[in-house]
Structure 1
Amino acid sequence: MKIERHKKRGELILELTPLIDVVFLLLIFFLVATTFDEMRGGIKIDLPQSTIKEISDIKEIQVIIDKNKNMVLHYKDKGKTEEVNVDKNNLKDKLSERLGNMKEKNVIISADKSLDYGYIVDVMTISKEAGAQSLDIDTSKKK
């Protein structure tokens, strides 16, 4: 930022162009450096990797399970995304309540890769019992 005196009037002139350039560069940097992960909400999970492309848009109901077996039911209701904390005991009731209102009864399971296979099979069984017509397992893209 440069401050000069006006040659004829003697007033101080503050040059704002460099300051504005820096502000815009910082804004662009933070927009590019920030990642937005709307799909998995606030739960941090480490998905297994696959060469198949990852699921990009949630149209269905998603069951998100972290490595501590905390579960969140993630779904869209009237255009807005909602999340409900659930456990294995009330998962069937919450899923059947949500699946009853949907045309496509698809459930996506996004589980941390450190969970044992038996636990995931239990969640899949509960989902099928709740009325899911198809199940998808969410993965991240292999690099």
Structure 2
Amino acid sequence: MNFRKNIQQQETGFQMAPMVDVVFLLLLFFMVASVYAQWETKIGIEVPTAGDADARTPQEILINIDKEGQLWVNGFILSRFMLESNLKKMSRIRSGQPIIIRADKKTDYEHVISVLDMCRQADIWNVSFATLPPKKNAVAPTP
């Protein structure tokens, strides 16, 4: 008695529902990530101007320092201890990690130096400062 002769196997086709789910999840991820990237430059920090200002590349880590000395990374306020531990982790993962310090022009110099110290302790040497290009009608300061 072989009962399996009458059963036909159905071929399963390509399932589109899981593929659509994955595409929508990727779309949602990139939409949220782009919103966080826009928030990074809207914290309310006035950066000084400089003659040669280059555009920022995506792999750079942007550390914002507001005029009170608070540290902002990816839209979140970090303590000095948290920033230092994150910088050390980044240094181990990717040597030569570029860091941009975006400090308010009214912040105390000691806050900028402390972030530079943290970068040095984390063995990160590719550090630059965010500035704005000078205004077209600006007059050069006299010594």
Q: TM-score range by the shorter chain?
A: 0.5 to 0.7
1:1-143 alignment to 2 at 5 Å? 38=38, 40-74=40-74, 83-143=75-135
- The answer to whether the 8 Å contact 2:66/2:103 transfers is yes
* SS at structure 2 position matched to 1:59: coil
- Mark the runs of 5 or more structure 1 residues left unpaired by the alignment: 1-36, 75-82
Residue 137 of structure 1, CA deviation: 0.8
More strand by share: 1
Structure 2: how far apart are the matches of 1:124 and 1:42?
Answer: 23
TM-score scaled by length of structure 2: 0.60
- Between the aligned residues of both structures, percent identity stands at 21
TM-score, normalised via structure 1 length: 0.60
* Cα separation, 2, equivalents of 1:55 and 1:88: 27
List alignment gaps of at least 5 residues for structure 2: 1-36, 136-143
Q: Distance in 1 between matches of 2:39 and 2:120?
A: 22
Distance 1:100 1:124 in 2: 17
Number of equivalences? 99
CA distance in 1, matches of 2:85, 2:68: 22
Could you tell me whether the CA contact under 8 Å between 2:69 and 2:108 is conserved in 1?
Answer: no
Higher helix fraction (1 or 2): 2
Specify the SS of the correspondent of 1:139. Answer: coil
Instruction: Give the conservation status (yes or no) of the 8 Å contact 2:67–2:108.
Output: no
Moved over 4 A (4+): none
Query: Deviation per CA, 1:103-126, whole angstroms, max 9, x where unpaired?
Result: 432211001010122221111011
